A and B are shown apart, each in its own frame.
Chain A
Amino acid sequence: MSLYKRIIPCLDVANGRVVKGTKFINIVDAGDPVEVAKRYDQEGADEIAFLDITATHEARKTIIETVEKVACEVFIPLTVGGGVSNYSDVLNLLSAGADKVAINSAAVANPNLINQVTDKIGRQCIVAAIDVKQNKNNSNWTVYTHGGRNSTEIDAFQWAKELCDRGAGEILLTSMDRDGTKKGFDLDLLNLISSAVSIPVIASGGAGTLEHLRDAVVVGKADAVLAASIFHYSIYSIQEAKEYMRKHGVLVRI
């Protein structure tokens, strides 16, 4: 039997507040992280992800305080990512109460960071985040860094394998082609990466309907789905998502 599939709401956090918005809409305040996280816990979220979107180094200290506050009130696994650049960033977040830390651009710049962290504190703490875009010419996917601003020469399939070999505990896979489109996850991409690695793959980018969530795990073989807007804007509740998935044959925690 395989494991129960996880649903992970992802919150953007800036300066100690949850914010929402897209590149087309101004970012607006969406509440206190503790309250929002508590509500998702009560609704049945399996984990919570915080993405620190603070731009300046100085303001980044607030994410530590935010994690500390949330960890005193919410008792489900907490993943924190965004701008994590070295070993001490990881340790600071873990000691503040994060259970897992997502590393993205820093792993591309210094792949040994993954070995360094997981050798010392175990692979369960590290989520390797990969942002990818499909190539027009050969249909492969290429890795992007710095929030999708910089392209690399790295092939997503090879990179996922390497991250797994280096000790990452999970892969958080974001399709930049689908992100924000609400057209559904990139199922071919998910299938490819899930087949490449022996660690759980979290699908991200493109969730618009409950069917999309189901497809990510049934067709794309993802182990978990991460979604932001469909939960934040209360298009669906987490409970509705889980009931839908259960009705369609997916094992979920209800």
Chain B
Amino acid sequence: MADIAIIDYGMGNVHSVCKALNKVLDKNSTVKITNSLNDLSDCSHIVFPGQGAASECMINIDKNLDIVEFKKIISQKPFLGICMGLQVLMTHSEENEGSNCLNILDGKVLSIKRKMNSNLKVPHMGWNKVKQESKHPLWGNIPNGAFFYFVHSYFVKPLDKSNVLSTTNYDLDFASALYKDNIAAVQFHPEKSSKMGLRLLENFINWNGEI
């Protein structure tokens, strides 16, 4: 049984994540879209989806939530960041004019266009393989190298390699998922990744936050 809160800060595609979670939830579980700190305190699991630019995302979090309190709450229960919900956990993003992020994971958010072969199509949009670099409850019943759906123009580069949960190759290998304690975050979209995506969401719901 889980009571899941999906953080809505006004710019995510929260509905598709909500629909996918509803598909895998059991009868006794609930899912709520919210931006209230009370809801985040009360729930058992937090999902943080997101699209858009990091700077706007930070502005919106700041506007809707007390960042100090927010960081405290999300250190206490299973947390899943998706796409921008991964990038915003880092120290700094070079998107737009550059923006400080939540600094929960050490590292930067870099532009695909600047770092990789200039002939590559950006955004990195489509299905790609996810190589599991660490054992983790999220990977339950998901084959190593399974395909997930990506849409992004920036990627994360963590300072500490031990935070890398998976890597994916797009001209070069980049971290496609990171983790630390109760926090897991993925660059791809499990809510759009068919059977394997739903399985990952199900694994998250069943996760108690311990590794």
On A, residues with C-beta under 8 Å from B are 1-4, 6, 41, 46, 71-73, 75-77, 94-95, 97, 99, 121-124, 169-170, 198-200, 223-224, 253
Contacts and interface: CB of A to CB of B under 8 A. Distances in A.
B23 A75 contact: yes
Given A41-B194, A76-B194, A198-B122, A97 B15 contact: yes
Contact of A200 (B16, B20, B125, B194): B125
Given A41-B194, A200-B121, A223-B126, A72 B23 contact: yes
A75 B127 contact: no
Interface in B121-156: 121-128, 147, 149, 151
B120 interface: yes
Given A75-B198, A76-B192, A124-B151, A6 B127 contact: yes
B193 to A, nearest CB: 7
Given A73-B23, A95-B15, A124-B125, 14 more contacts: A1-B169, A1-B171, A2-B121, A3-B121, A4-B126, A46-B127, A71-B15, A75-B20, A76-B149, A94-B13, A124-B151, A169-B123, A199-B122, A200-B126
Nearest to A99: B192
A76 B126 CA distance: 10
B22 interface: yes
A6 B51 contact: no
A66 B151 CA distance: 24
B209 interface: no
Contact of B123 (A1, A4, A94, A123): A123
Contacts of A224: 126
A123 B153 CA distance: 10
A1 B123 CA distance: 15
Contacts of A41: 194
Interface residues of B, number: 30
A253 B127 contact: yes
A46 B125 CA distance: 11
B191 interface: yes
B192 A77 contact: yes
Contacts of B71: none
A77 B123 CA distance: 15
Contacts of B121: 2-3, 198-200, 223
B16 A46 contact: no
A95 B171 CA distance: 33
Contacts of B22: 72
Contact of B128 (A3, A73, A99, A170): A3
Contacts of A99: 13, 16, 192
B30 to A, nearest CB: 17
7 contacts: A71-B15, A75-B23, A75-B198, A97-B15, A99-B16, A124-B125, A199-B121
Interface in B82-127: 120-127
Nearest to A71: B19
B52 A122 contact: yes
Contacts of A75: 19-20, 23, 191-194, 197-198
A253 B143 CA distance: 14
Sorted from nearest, which 6 A-B pairs have the closest CB atoms? A253-B127, A124-B151, A253-B147, A3-B126, A4-B127, A76-B194
Nearest to A252: B127
A154 B13 CA distance: 35
A28 to B, nearest CB: 29
B124, B151, B198: most-surrounded residue (chain A CB, <10 A) = B151
